[in-house]
Chains A and B, each alone.
Chain A
Amino acid sequence: MTSLESANKIKAKFGDIVSEPSEFRGEISLKISDAEKIFDVCFFAKNQLGLNYLVDISSVDNYGEDPRWTVVYHLRGVVSGQELVIKTDVSEEKSELPSVFGVWRTSNWHEREIYDMMGIRFSGHPDLRRILMWEGYPYFPLRKDFPLAGKPSDLPGVAFTQVTPMEGGPFVTLPSSSDSIAREPRVRTPEDAEPGISDKRLVDGKLK
């Protein structure tokens, strides 16, 4: 079965919610207008059409447009060699669509990543936690309204919120705005310095 035949079979089975297959650079893609049906479409594609391998799930933020999110599934038949792209839109208010974990177990981490990076939730996912960022991180970095340089974090970070433990130690300069000589803890100025060992050892040019 070729990719186009599979696309037409999905179209015949699900009818109006599936767009006409389109082609770009040899890739056949379908758009599903109802995101709630994505599980059924994927289940059908895997079990009836032999698209047994989920290559990847990608997400796109169409910032400023409605619906805001597009989720893209890349399917492949590892025996037949066919490939199919299935896309679906999700609105920002909803930001949720069914998980395909029941079809391919590999979608577990893909969906966690999309939740982590874009903030789209997957209903029915067994363990929807952040994966690349840490638990408790408040933003979704791949959204278009997230700035490139990042935002300050709520997590206590030693380097940015407190004096580093080394500071003020024997080998570290003291924190202040004065010049580097004044900040050096080992510095001895001529006024306050007691005579050093080297001074004590030589009296009148002779070794004591």
Chain B
Amino acid sequence: MATVQDIEIPDSAARAAAIEEAQDIQGEKMVLNMGPSHPATHGVLRIVLELDGEVITKADPDVGYLHRGDEKIAENMTYTQFIPYTDRLDYLAPLANNVAYALAVEKLLGIHDKLPPRCQYIRVMCAELARISAHLLGLGAFAMDTGAVTVFLLTFTEREKIYNLAEAASGARLTTTYTRIGGLMRDIPPTWCDQVRQFLKEFAVALAEAHTLLTRNRIWVDRLRDLGVVSKEMAIDYGLSGPNLRGSGVEWDLRKNQPYLCYKDLDFDVALGSVGDCYDRYLVRMEEMKQSMRILEQCCNKIPGGAENKSHEPVNVADGKITLPPKEKVLTSMEELIHQFMLVTEGVNCPPGEIYFGHENPKGELGFYINSKGGGTPYRLKIRAPSFINLSILGELMPGCMISDVPVILGSLDFVMGESDR
């Protein structure tokens, strides 16, 4: 808060009046409503700011403008029918949401560690492509809000290629719905691995260019450094996850600490920040994209069955009660016909019980708590949305900052309202 003022008036009476006036101005506070439709809030976030001049004294984030009742909807449909709804949670990384949800239901079924290896590798590739895609958008929008428009154009060019890859695999660019309970919608096309390699080659150049545009850019560094500092203790206390948690120097990555899929066989590092300011969170995301590239490269080389799958490795678990049988068998064999009928009408029959599964999504830990009473429909499905929890720190982080720092802090937290409001 600015308290020191220079008043250069020689006349003593006029000086006293000027000082009095200056104090009056300081005492007045203004409430500024930011959002819900504001370009820097990346969606429909509303923040009620209390200002003393340009300095924020209080911030009250208001969420819920995009609430669609996904948890209620889930209680009224089968497990498989809910997969398209997961596309619309974090709509910047639908492939990762698909993987997270499928793994959660598979954990309830007890098959999450018995998935075919080819399926595991494809899912990891999907999750990592989604991570790059989400970080690219986060970075582009972040830079644009800070005044560096070029980066936005650069990252969107690269995101376009990821959309093409998603389209090649699943048939859709945004609403992928690629996973199924116990496997995938279909195997990847034979040329997909080559397309991924080609993308990685081009993306490495673009990422290096983004680095040269930002990392040592004087304006960028000045605006980000020592702003919005989250200490280790604070990050854990507020339940931050993903790059925001690691930006504060907490070594916690679910891919390393609770390995799922085939992450155990892959070689990658966890990026950590040291101070916990906006600049650290930016650097962590940049490094994560690099590590995702490493993972993708390894997956392309190690995928069981190779790119073309000449040895016919399965991508679905061999259990007719979980995954749909091949169509030609449905038309010729009684047992498969019954399985198909039961799966489509009743859904995958899950045992009673309750599980929680957390997945390292681009925004943080996307978790599903499923309470099942048996049958094909969840009794209660709770989504642990990382964006929702990452936003809860705003009320603590913003007071003391200038109003021009708001877009920077918001950009560095990298949230998406579709997921936050569910």
Select from chain A the residue with minimum beta-carbon distance to B233. Answer: A52
With CB as the reference atom, state the residue of chain B lying closest to A144.
Answer: B75
Q: Do the beta carbons of A109 and B388 come within 8 Å of each other?
A: yes
Chain B residues with CB below 8 A from A109, complex form? 388-389, 391-392
Give the contacting residue for B239; candidates A29, A53, A81, A142; CB below 8 A.
Answer: A53
Stretch of A36-44, A55-63, A157-165, A171-179 contacting B (4+ beta carbons < 8 Å): A55-63
> Which size class do A's interface residues fall under?
35 or more
Q: How large is the interface on B (under 10, 10 to 19, 20 to 34, 35 or more residues)?
A: 35 or more
Q: Is A85 close to B, CB under 8 A? A: yes
| CB under 8 Å from chain A, chain B span 334-370 | 353-356, 358, 365, 367, 369
Contact present for A61 and B421 (CB under 8 Å): no
Bound Cα distance from A72 to B110, whole angstroms: 21
> Across the interface, do B356 and A56 meet the contact criterion of CB distance under 8 Å?
yes
> B72 on the interface (CB 8 Å rule)?
yes
User: Is A68 engaged at the interface, CB distance under 8 Å to the other chain?
Assistant: no
**Residue contact A106 to B238, C-beta cutoff 8 Å:** yes
Within 8 A of A (CB), among B59-74: 63-64, 67, 69, 71-73
Q: Which of B237, B353, B422 contacts A104 (CB 8 A)?
A: B237
Among A60, A104, A141, point to the contact of B72 (Cβ < 8 A): A141
- By a CB distance below 8 angstroms, the chain A residues around B236 are 52-53, 78
A108 close to B (CB within 8 Å): yes
Q: For the complex, is B37 an interface residue (Cβ under 8 Å from A)?
A: no
Given contacts A55-B358, A106-B389, contact A60 B239 (CB under 8 A): no
CA distance A27 to B237 in the complex (A): 22
B interface footprint on A116-139 (CB within 8 Å = 1, 0 otherwise): 010000000000001111100000
Of B94-102, B300-308, B322-330, B376-384, which stretch is located at the interface? B376-384
CB distance from B370 to the nearest CB of A (A): 10
B108 at the interface (CB under 8 A from A): yes
* A151 contacts B by Cβ under 8 Å: no
Interface: A86 (CB within 8 A): no
Residue contact B392 to A132, C-beta cutoff 8 Å: no
Enumerate chain B residues within 8 angstroms of A27, measured Cβ to Cβ.
355-356
Instruction: Name the A residues within 8 Å of B23 (CB-CB).
Output: none
* Nearest-CB residue, chain A, relative to B356: A74
Contact B250–A78 (Cβ < 8 Å): yes
Within the complex, the shortest CB–CB distance from A100 to chain B, in Å, comes to 12
Contact assessment for B369 and A56 in the assembled complex, using a CB-CB cutoff below 8 Å: yes
A105 within 8 Å of B by Cβ? yes
A9 to B146, CA, bound (A): 50
Taken residue by residue from 75 to 108, chain A's Cβ proximity to chain B (1 for < 8 Å, 0 otherwise) reads as 0001001000100000000000000000011101
A1 at the interface (CB under 8 A from B): no
Say which residue of B107, B355, B382, B391 sits within 8 Å of A56 (CB atoms).
B382
B35 to chain A: closest CB distance in Å?
15
Q: Tell me, in angstroms, the Cα distance from A53 to B108 when the chains sit together.
A: 23
Tell me the complex Cα distance, A52–B245, Å.
14
A148 vs B74: C-alpha distance when bound (angstroms): 10
Best-surrounded residue of B236, B252, B358 (most CB of chain A within 10 A): B236
For the complex, give the distance between the alpha carbons of A123 and B375 in Å.
Answer: 36
CB distance from B231 to the nearest CB of A (A): 13
Kindly supply a per-residue 1/0 record for chain B positions 387-412, scoring 1 wherever the CB is within 8 Å of any chain A CB and 0 otherwise.
01101100010000000000000000
Q: Given A131-B63, A133-B64, are A106 and B72 neighbors across the interface (CB < 8 Å)?
A: no
Interface residues of B in 192-215 (CB under 8 A from A): none
Task: Verify B73–A60 contact, CB threshold 8 A.
Answer: no
Q: How far is the CB of B115 from chain A (nearest CB, A)?
A: 15
Whether A134 lies near B64 (C-beta < 8 A) is: yes
Is residue A54 contacting chain B, with contact meaning CB distance below 8 A? yes
Taking A55-B367, A104-B237 as contacts, is the C-beta distance between A72 and B67 under 8 angstroms? Answer: no
12 pairs of residues in contact across A and B, judged by CB atoms under 8 Å: A58-B382, A72-B369, A74-B384, A81-B257, A106-B238, A106-B392, A108-B392, A109-B389, A132-B67, A133-B64, A142-B72, A148-B73
Other than A27-B355, A109-B388, A148-B76, give 7 A-B pairs with Cβ distance below 8 A: A58-B380, A61-B380, A85-B356, A105-B237, A133-B64, A133-B67, A148-B72
